[in-house]
Amino acid sequence: MTDNLRRQAEELARKDDSADKGPRTLEEMQQSLHELRVHQIELELQNEELRRAQAELEALRSRYFDLYDLAPVGYCTVSEKGLTLGANLTAATLLGMVRSEMVGQPWTRFIHKEDQDIYYRHRKELFNTNSATATASCELRLAKKDGTDFWANLTGTIACDAEEAPVCRIVMHDISERKQEEQFRETVERIIHHDIKGPLVNLFSVAQLVLDGESNTSVMESFPQIMLGIRQVIHLIDATEPLLEMEKGAYTPPETPIDIFQILSLVNKSLEKLSTQNKVTVELPSATSCSSREPYLCGEAFLIEDLLMNLVKNAIEASPREGRVTITCQAEPGTVSIAIHNAGAVPEAIRERFFEKYATMGKHCGTGLGTYSAQLIAKAHGGHVGLTTSETEGTTITVALPRCDIK
């Protein structure tokens, strides 16, 4: 390019020289030389100004790159027709794509199919707004190139492009962690709600005795149940944070010795009213098989109690009237196994997902969280809960937990 300009300049100079062949005085030549010198200085000043402007442009470009492309949130520009006009590096990274792959694609391609209506309402609200400062926000799932999805908060505003056509500028925030935290808390709240109903119903029944004018003797006989119910409610409230940690996979059980026989006795007493109402006999293991003199397990006693409470309560409710729930305890090398048996059978439709969240069938007001929370607590303590069931043999739930190493 420089050589071409040089040739053009020389050609113009030759033409100028041929047009002006008259003699020049010394004074004219000196004046021409002066003008050339001034022009040279002007060109040097202009060149310096251009270099300074270029440096400023590079600085602005670098700042733009930092502020736009390396922003901690994703930026996208979408046309009125819904096509992606541009995106920053963060948006492309969130979607697992290269920016060039996004340009020209329908923006709805990146939205989870079940959340398309959310985006449609969000977009319609925005483009129907006359105010230039209006914004619209929504939370939905975005689909990555690899098929996975993540939760995002989208905030959109309307602007005009270089041709004064309306475009939508979208800011994307990845809110997957917050959504997961919300899901964890919702699950724990449901578990607490599920587990707290039993003791509260018992407390209500005792209060009803008083209101119905039952004798002082009847009320006094119910006081142990009242104390157990209050104790359970307090423990369930205390269980909120440990259960939340378990949902996150971040729980570490304490090395506190647990007396299994004592816990099973407390569970039996707490469920005494239910077993009496259902005319079901609960047989506990002997004190020699789960000796109180030797702490078999380590962990949170009230959590192990809640685990067993749910499983024994389920067994009583599933057992036929006049039936029997048998609990046995067996110490093996490194493991303690607690088996809970009843004559009922788990419906075949839910056997494969018996310990999954919300798996329930045929149980009045069942939530499907009792066995899920039991498995959750067992695994958090290094163990597991198993199921065997059939129409002929009934159902046996086996809780296997590691033995305590403390002597």
Q: What is the pLDDT of residue 222?
A: 60
pLDDT single digits (tens) 299-319: 888 889 889 988 998 899 889
The two tokens of residue 175 are 């809110």
Beta strands 324-332 and 335-342 are: antiparallel
- Decide: 260 and 303 in contact? Cβ < 8 Å: no
Is residue 114 packed enough to be buried (19+ CB in 10 Å), middle (13-18) or exposed (0-12)?
exposed
Asked whether the beta carbons of 137 and 144 are under 8 A apart, the reply is no
The average confidence (pLDDT) of the chain is 80
d(C-alpha 137, C-alpha 123), whole Å = 9
Q: Find, among 281, 287, 280, 239, the residue nearest to 265 by Cα.
A: 287
The confidence score (pLDDT) of residue 5 equals 55
Phi, psi of 337 (to 5 degrees): -115, 130
Taking the C-alpha atoms of residue 190 and residue 192, their distance in angstroms, rounded to an integer, is 5
- How much is the pLDDT for 330? 85
d(C-alpha 305, C-alpha 394), whole Å? 24
SS (H, E, C) 145-169: CCCCEEEEEEEEEEEECCCCCEEEE
Q: Which one-letter DSSP state was computed for residue 232?
A: H
The Cα–Cα gap between 42 and 231 comes to 92
- Counting Cα atoms < 13 Å in the Cβ hemisphere of 89 gives 9
Q: How many helices (H) and strands (E) does the chain have?
A: 12, 12
* Domains of the chain from N-terminus onward: 74-174 (3.30.450.20), 180-402 (3.30.565.10)
Q: What is the mean pLDDT of residues 201-216?
A: 64
Confidence of residue 292 (pLDDT cuts 50, 70, 90): very low
Amino acid occupying residue 52: R
- One-letter amino acid at 43 equals L
Residues of the chain with pLDDT > 70, as a percent, come to: 75
Q: What would the pLDDT profile of 216-243 be if each residue is shown by its tens digit?
A: 665 555 656 666 666 667 666 777 788 8
Residues 33-39 have a mean pLDDT of 78
φ, ψ for residue 124, nearest 5 deg: -60, -45
Amino acid identity, position 64: Y
Tokens of 172: 């994307």
* DSSP letter (8 states) at residue 404: P
